[in-house]
Structure 1
Amino acid sequence: MAGTLPAAGPAAAADPQRVTVDLAASEGPVMHGANGTLYGLSDDGVPSDAALAPLKITSISQKPEGGAQHPNGDALTVSKSFFRNGGGEINVMMQDIYAKWPYEDLGIDDYLPKVDKIVKEVAADPNSDRFVYIPFNEPDQIWYNLGTSDPAQYAANRDRFLKDWKTVYQRIRAIDPDARIAGPNESGYHTRLLTDFLTFAKRENVLPQIMTWHELDSSSLRNFQGNYDNYRSIEKNLGISPLKINIDEYANRRDLSVPGQLVQWVSMFERNKVYANQAYWDGAGNLDGNVVRSNIPNGGWWFFRWYAGMTGKTVKVTPPQADTVDTLQGLASLDTARRQAQVLVGGAAGDSDIVVRNVSRSVFGRTVTATVAESAWSGYEGQHATPRVLARTKVQVAADGSVTVPLRGMRKMSAYRVVLTPAGAGSPSAATVPWSASYEAEDAAITGGQVYTQGTVSNANGYAASGTKDVGSLNQPSSKLDFTVTVPAAGTYDLTILYGNQAGTPATQKLSVDGGDPVTVTYPSTENWTYRAKKDVTVQLPAGTHVLTLAKGDAEVTLDRIDLTAAAGAPSASYEATLADISGKPSYDYSSSAGTGTGTLVLRSGDKAVFDVYAPRDGYYTVVPRASAALRLELHGEKVTAAPGKALRLYLVAGNNRLAVTAGHAGVHSLDVSGAGSTVGTLSYEGGAATLAGGARLVDSAHASAGSSIGWLGNSPTSTAEFTVDAPKAGRYLLVVHYAHNERRDNGHSYNTDIMSRTADITVGTAAPREVTFKNTWSWDDYWTLGVPVDLKEGPNKVTFGNASAWAPNLDRIELGRVIG
């Protein structure tokens, strides 16, 4: 674990790298333009509202309604959840109406009727002004071969493309006169084509309203600034006013989900105030690798949550090396109204100093509180708890107006956030960082396995791996890894295993300590061997050196890294009110630095703060508001009055939970949340307790909690599963559905995994049915959970699942817990 403030003790072997932040050099308002996604949404509800809303996503790219390129991700369908959660605009990838990749070239006469249909449907939508038409995708490679080096062939191909561009552009405008159109949407940046395209488009009055191209190579981290500057010079030379830019596909597989990689991309896009959408390399609906299942954050999600939390104006950041691949980079913001400066950095291992210059005394005073937190890489499918605060320290502003925040022992795949706020009276609580150590799989003693290299610059579209290596082919009866570890004290340790499982069902390994009796570790399925997830277990270890063995169980599992962390009791986190999402006009009071040390958010009538609270599993947690007066909390549609300092027992779903706080007049310091998800007081019903009709029946399942689940549910109005639940009190409950399904539709795409979601109509009592979407669980034997708020009356309640027109997921069991326990 990285250690930070204060910088004390012997000097490091090498001088720390330096990132300089100049708070006096404004770059303009924070735009949040680089948080977009391509096929990041697959259905209404995938990802969840609680995963979407905090990120303040400015643009997404999706296929037209009914497009054949992928089985889901239709623009009009996902627009409901996107706009509901504060989303910006939707790019409609019009050629994704076609089924093949690259798109089958049937000629412009085949394409034009499809264009007409798409535009008519979008134009009829109530939010039509929030859609952008992208008529062509990567025309330099697809249909037109504009990348040819032969000048004569290029000229012929170019002229055909420009003619078709004009035809389609005018066709769109004829149907939707106010349409916003983007292009040319090349696979990379090409000066020759853009010069010709803009010259033609200006002359023929068919200029796009948004300029788009793709940056899909590691070299983009070096070349983008030059590409951007060159493009703006072309515009200027042609007398074209600067167009809005959307780099509507960026980054490689090795970048997605990796905070230390993402910060490098986001910093350069935000600095230049362009919009940008992460590329779609895998399964739809997970925000391009940043959401686990539908609602669980990983390290990438937390990085984008930090990015969304930046307010005010961005300011100049000078990294050790500008425009260089895989180096320490950063972005920073200053909000003088909130009296906050935020810095996000990452991309390099080792030590660095964050030097913040021009720290205004009129804004911050003579001392500041510096709070440092880490968002680590947890894999594409690996959960990440609330980022740990590594340091919280009062720092004197130097005579030259600077503050230096040392970061020591940085991890290359992590991102770090530094927050500066005025320091008031008292001392902030010191951060508690438990002992932790990491051990790479490739460094273990390997029997019956093979080391593979993953996610390097030369193999940028390979999946990320810790240390760029993992150990696979652990498929022999003797296959095992022996990790030699050393712990400082006897006690309980949390063991985190980064793994991949493509067995098509939960797979096991045998874990033993120093050759003792093995215990079984079960790994849920992942997309493939290198699509990294996390498994958390605990081990008891005496002080000293030990050998932890992970040996083959019933199937092959790929191993990447293990982490050992001294267990610190039940999980807990303190969520600072001054960093919460706000509406209204609350004020910020930094007169006290005590406790979490970032001051107090003062709420008055009409103000609201929303906290993003992580839960490791579904269940009850203790929530304590630190405030000066009573607050009103809202969770899952239920409201409760909270006395200051008084504990509440609240039901949280696995992953992210949005807790809204209002008050008549109260200073809110933090929400303190602890617990591991107690199920005491919840109701639980196995699938076998349901009354089944219309062909729905129990099917054997070794990984279901009672050995069977409800299958063949739906696809008929009469096929239902009805549970009778006995509520001890009337009120709002969380209905947690344990389900599995692995429906897929192979569209023949060369690299996307076309997983499908399923829906079920859930009816509670006499209420109207509610359609709920269940994401694919990677196999029929992996059971995930989905929480649905429902209202129950005291006593018996009928809860019915069905789907009249399609198959519903298989149901293992249901649990119910009152929101206010």
Structure 2
Amino acid sequence: MAGTLPATGSSAAAAADPQRLTVDLSASEGPVLRGANGALYGLSDDGVPSDAALAPLKITSISQKPEGGAQHPNGDALTVAKSFFRSGGGEVLVMMQDIYPKWPYDDLGIEDYLPKVDKIAKEVSAAPNSDRFVYIPFNEPDLIWYGLNASDQSKYEANRDRFLKDWKTVFQRIRAIDPDARIAGPNESGYHSRLITDFLAFAKRENVLPQIMTWHELGSGSLRDFQGHYDNYRAIERQLGIDPLTINIDEYANRRDLSVPGQLVQWVSMFERNKVYANQAYWDAAGNLDGNVVRSNIPNGGWWFFRWYAGLTGDTVKVTPPQANTIDTLQGLASLDTSRRQAQVLLGGSAADTDVAIQHVPRAVFGRTVTATVAVTDWTGYEGQHAAPRVLARTKVKVADDGTVTVPLRGLHKMSAYRIVLTPGGSGTPSAASVPWSASYEAEDAAITDGKVYTQGTVSNANGYAASGTKDVGSLNTASSKVEFTVSVPADGTYDLAILYGNQSGTPATQKLSIDGGAPVTVTYPSTENWTYRAKKDVTVELPAGTHRLTLAKGDTEVTLDRIDLTARTTTPAASYEATLADISGKPSYDYSSSAGVGTGALVLRSGDKAVFDVYAPRDGYYTVVSRASAPVRLALHGETVAAAPSRPLRLYLVAGNNRVAVTAKHAAVRSLHISGDGSAKGTLSYEGASAVLAGGAKLVDSAYASAGSYIGWLGNSPTSTAEFTVDAPRAGRYVLVVHYAHNDRRDNGHAYNTDIMSRTADITVGAAEPRRVTFKNTWSWDDYWTVGVPVDLRKGANKVTFGNAGAWAPNIDRIELGRVVG
């Protein structure tokens, strides 16, 4: 029927009565705010997370501690502001009371706090971009110092009066030092109408009204209650004659929500609909955008959801979900950009079959036909890598006479999020999406020997860690422990096996994988923050068609298991990135005259225009990059620029995780950027730690986990402690220096729920160039090696590459690799 696409998803059979989510493109809610992409302690250091992980998300606000604050060992506002602003970030909220150690804060009285306020205000007001900082004088005053949630009214009033007096004192103290300061509050742990009313009345009367209203929405109940909180707050403003203030929900969501696309879309949709800012809560480790960045540069499923959110342009439009303001149900948000001729819908949170009805599709913008592209981002764990979201369908369809396009979604996953993009249909037929066979199997449903099923994050235990199906299998700690999955595959072939696991053993852990009782092979799992902070291990298996037993048995140490995914591999891994969805600068135009092939149209670049693609690589190495364009373009990557002829392959070096590839042209219509390959090391230069010349106490340390049996340890903490590699470059040019490193520095600041890991730095000097300071995030153990890629310039022949740190310990270095950007 006109206006309805074929069913999309793994289940072709439609439900008898699918739920319905309606999008009204004629009902604008105002310009896209992108306010709900913030994070509390999402940054820990300059470079953690990486600029390539930060910039695509267009983060509007972050909350961090004041410089030198004792609450955590890192995350200082002025320090992380460098990379945040460098990567296009918005504003930094300074959690002033995090100057104190421990939680809850010691109540040493306002007289102890005021000198600290003075120091913070002087430092912030003197900082570059000081106008982009916001002061938060109090954090959760209902819980600390003041007890503002007292049920006894007289006790509440006494506590309230003490707080309001201190609020006025601190507010005026900040303004005395920084007259233009923006101040936020009262910043309670939840929404309390009684205190909000009293606070606003006092603040208006005493001329100490905050510029930004803040409170927290942390429990599962907020998915039900926030709309009522927001409406009540705006009513209080109107009652008191206060113009609407900017709102920042500067802590939201719980552990079970973070990193989970299907959970995040529920939170983000309600904040965006009400045009408020919001920062995800900090429950675990700083520096990973609250569970959305793996290591420092690798996206997981949550990162890709926020990348989609950052890609919304134009105005948001009204979305009517099946059940508004209801916990753990299908929710969504949508946008319409008439200048780009695009409509986008983001949705998730339910496994039920769904019809998405997009109404009032404007004929003047889209014409009589549209191309509808459906993609999915899955939950891959807090530390599980996620490749570019898979396109499930790309279909051209006629718009119904009433202006509706209906997209049926079947076989949905509750923890996944989905994106629908509508663009003008044009001529020709889009290439059908290639969706490989895939199936998932929960560990708790498998045959378990000497293990135990645990229930994880649920509505009633919102601060439990997320788990697929809310359960996982742990206590696999005896010699006979194993989990046996019964799987069935449709054809003989190679299958990618993804294992969601946890490893808190302190070293890489192993299990024995066997198929149908055959000879076992060893699977090695890197360390994770804890047993339930889920990561993903990818291995490859060969399976004939039919049913099989896949057994994961205990190896040298314990591993917890959540789920396995089997996906058929039919070709070399590849992905196409559509130009019409790339980030842009300048004034490129959008051409949808043809929808034939991959990509729903073309982005027309002229001099002064630029498109930036976010390209995923599963590992450091060389990949084949093809520009699908009408004319030559130039690609910029790692500081190198290379000419790319249409459809002509280039061999380029990509680092593990996200790579920002910029495309410019004199005049070219660009449809897509196509990336293929596994990350070849052919042509790279590799040097083990043993090849370096060590000085000043740096020494080789034997290790069974290092690639050649030893690593460089005791490096730094002195100007003379260095490691010098001699690199023989076959050609001059721009290379990527990949450092394989490990360290596990931590400092316990007295938090039961935060893992206070610390980063290390190293100063890297190449030849006669100035040293460059590089940050290396904690690797969860001393025996797990991660990589950081650093662009460097080498001359032909011998080059000295020296590592050191005069004032602190550098990370342990296993080895280094170098690959010329253009291979």
Measured against the shorter chain, the TM-score band is: over 0.9
Using the alignment, how far apart are the partners of 1:591 and 1:168 within structure 2? 60
Which residue pairs with 1:70 in the alignment? 72
Q: Cα distance, 1:701 vs. partner?
A: 1.5
1:38-80: CA deviation from partner (whole Å, max 9, x where unpaired): 0000000000000000000000000000000000000000000
2:35 paired with 1:55: no
Say if 1:690 and 1:364 are closer, same or farther in 2 by CA, change over 3 A.
same
Q: Cα distance, 1:597 vs. partner?
A: 3.7
Say if 1:10 and 1:478 are closer, same or farther in 2 by CA, change over 3 A.
closer
Q: Give the partner amino acid of 1:548.
A: L
2:645 paired with 1:638: no
Q: Give the partner amino acid of 1:188.
A: G
Using the alignment, how far apart are the partners of 1:803 and 1:723 within structure 2? 16
CA contact 2:14–2:410 (8 Å) conserved in 1: no
SS in 1 for 2:36: helix
Which residue pairs with 1:258 in the alignment? 260
1:425-445: CA deviation from partner (whole Å, max 9, x where unpaired): 110000011111110000000
Which residue pairs with 2:770 in the alignment? 768
Which residue pairs with 2:314 in the alignment? 312
Using the alignment, how far apart are the partners of 1:79 and 1:596 within structure 2? 39
Q: Give the partner amino acid of 1:420.
A: L
CA contact 2:686–2:818 (8 Å) conserved in 1: yes
Using the alignment, how far apart are the partners of 2:546 and 2:646 within structure 1? 44
Corresponding pairs, count: 819
CA contact 1:5–1:393 (8 Å) conserved in 2: no
Which residue pairs with 2:525 in the alignment? 523
Which residue pairs with 1:807 in the alignment? 809
Say if 1:689 and 1:198 are closer, same or farther in 2 by CA, change over 3 A.
same
Say if 1:150 and 1:9 are closer, same or farther in 2 by CA, change over 3 A.
closer
Q: Cα distance, 1:322 vs. partner?
A: 0.1
CA contact 1:427–1:597 (8 Å) conserved in 2: no
Instruction: Give runs of aligned pairs for residues 81-120 of structure 1, distance below 5 A.
Output: 81-120=83-122
CA contact 1:5–1:392 (8 Å) conserved in 2: no
Which residue pairs with 1:382 in the alignment? 384
Which residue pairs with 1:537 in the alignment? 539
Q: More displaced, 10-19 or 222-231?
A: 10-19
Using the alignment, how far apart are the partners of 1:10 and 1:665 within structure 2? 43
CA contact 2:574–2:675 (8 Å) conserved in 1: yes
Q: Percent of counterpart pairs with the same letter?
A: 83
Q: More displaced, 450-459 or 12-21?
A: 12-21
Q: Cα distance, 1:145 vs. partner?
A: 0.3
Say if 1:815 and 1:10 are closer, same or farther in 2 by CA, change over 3 A.
closer
Which residue pairs with 1:714 in the alignment? 716
CA contact 2:213–2:245 (8 Å) conserved in 1: yes
Using the alignment, how far apart are the partners of 1:441 and 1:560 within structure 2? 5
- Give the one of 437, 440, 444 matched to 2:439: 437
SS in 1 for 2:203: helix
1:784-804: CA deviation from partner (whole Å, max 9, x where unpaired): 000000000000000000000
Q: Cα distance, 1:14 vs. partner?
A: 3.2
Which residue pairs with 2:197 in the alignment? 195
Q: Cα distance, 1:7 vs. partner?
A: 9.3
Which residue pairs with 1:670 in the alignment? 672
Instruction: Give runs of aligned pairs for residues 392-411 of structure 1, distance below 5 A.
Output: 392-411=394-413
Which residue pairs with 1:352 in the alignment? 354
2:792 paired with 1:790: yes
1:763-814: CA deviation from partner (whole Å, max 9, x where unpaired): 0000000000000000000000000000000000000000000000000000
- Give the one of 560, 563, 566 matched to 1:561: 563
Q: Cα distance, 1:15 vs. partner?
A: 1.3
Which residue pairs with 1:328 in the alignment? 330
Which residue pairs with 2:692 in the alignment? 690
2:247 paired with 1:245: yes
1:505-560: CA deviation from partner (whole Å, max 9, x where unpaired): 10000000011100000000000000000001111111111100000001110000
Using the alignment, how far apart are the partners of 1:796 and 1:773 within structure 2? 26
Using the alignment, how far apart are the partners of 1:566 and 1:624 within structure 2? 24
Q: Cα distance, 1:11 vs. partner?
A: 5.3
Which residue pairs with 1:178 in the alignment? 180
Q: Give the partner amino acid of 1:529.
A: W
CA contact 2:9–2:412 (8 Å) conserved in 1: no
Which residue pairs with 1:575 in the alignment? 577
Using the alignment, how far apart are the partners of 2:470 and 2:725 within structure 1? 49
Instruction: Give runs of aligned pairs for residues 437-456 of structure 1, distance below 5 A.
Output: 437-456=439-458
SS in 1 for 2:258: coil
CA contact 2:633–2:644 (8 Å) conserved in 1: yes
Instruction: Give runs of aligned pairs for residues 85-164 of structure 1, distance below 5 A.
Output: 85-164=87-166
CA contact 2:11–2:411 (8 Å) conserved in 1: no
CA contact 1:181–1:208 (8 Å) conserved in 2: yes
1:651-699: CA deviation from partner (whole Å, max 9, x where unpaired): 0000000000011111000000000000100000000000000000011
Q: Cα distance, 1:491 vs. partner?
A: 1.1
- Could you tell me which runs of 5 or more consecutive residues in structure 1 were left unpaired when the two chains were aligned: none
CA contact 1:4–1:391 (8 Å) conserved in 2: no
Q: More displaced, 296-305 or 590-599?
A: 590-599
Q: Cα distance, 1:8 vs. partner?
A: 12
Which residue pairs with 1:218 in the alignment? 220
CA contact 2:631–2:646 (8 Å) conserved in 1: yes
SS in 1 for 2:460: helix
Which residue pairs with 1:494 in the alignment? 496
Say if 1:11 and 1:757 are closer, same or farther in 2 by CA, change over 3 A.
closer
Which residue pairs with 2:598 in the alignment? 596
Say if 1:11 and 1:749 are closer, same or farther in 2 by CA, change over 3 A.
closer
CA contact 1:369–1:597 (8 Å) conserved in 2: no
Using the alignment, how far apart are the partners of 1:301 and 1:386 within structure 2? 10
CA contact 1:101–1:750 (8 Å) conserved in 2: no
Say if 1:6 and 1:697 are closer, same or farther in 2 by CA, change over 3 A.
closer
SS in 2 for 1:196: helix
Q: Cα distance, 1:568 vs. partner?
A: 2.2
Q: Cα distance, 1:6 vs. partner?
A: 5.9
Using the alignment, how far apart are the partners of 1:144 and 1:8 within structure 2? 54
Q: Give the partner amino acid of 1:818.
A: R
Which residue pairs with 2:236 in the alignment? 234
2:21 paired with 1:19: yes
1:302-334: CA deviation from partner (whole Å, max 9, x where unpaired): 000000000000000000000000000000000
Q: Cα distance, 1:9 vs. partner?
A: 10
Say if 1:9 and 1:679 are closer, same or farther in 2 by CA, change over 3 A.
closer
Which residue pairs with 1:750 in the alignment? 752
1:242-284: CA deviation from partner (whole Å, max 9, x where unpaired): 0000000000000000000000000000000000000000000
Q: Give the partner amino acid of 2:133.
A: F
Q: Cα distance, 1:100 vs. partner?
A: 1.5
1:446-485: CA deviation from partner (whole Å, max 9, x where unpaired): 0000000001001100000000000000001100001011
SS in 2 for 1:459: coil
> Taking structure 2 as the reference length, what is the TM-score of the superposition?
0.99
- Could you tell me which runs of 5 or more consecutive residues in structure 2 were left unpaired when the two chains were aligned: none
CA contact 1:484–1:547 (8 Å) conserved in 2: yes
CA contact 2:332–2:348 (8 Å) conserved in 1: yes
Using the alignment, how far apart are the partners of 2:758 and 2:451 within structure 1? 33
Using the alignment, how far apart are the partners of 1:193 and 1:366 within structure 2? 54
Q: Give the partner amino acid of 1:312.
A: G
Using the alignment, how far apart are the partners of 1:508 and 1:303 within structure 2? 31
Say if 1:413 and 1:6 are closer, same or farther in 2 by CA, change over 3 A.
closer
Using the alignment, how far apart are the partners of 1:170 and 1:207 within structure 2? 11
Which residue pairs with 2:704 in the alignment? 702
Which residue pairs with 2:297 in the alignment? 295
Using the alignment, how far apart are the partners of 1:9 and 1:140 within structure 2? 49
SS in 2 for 1:534: strand
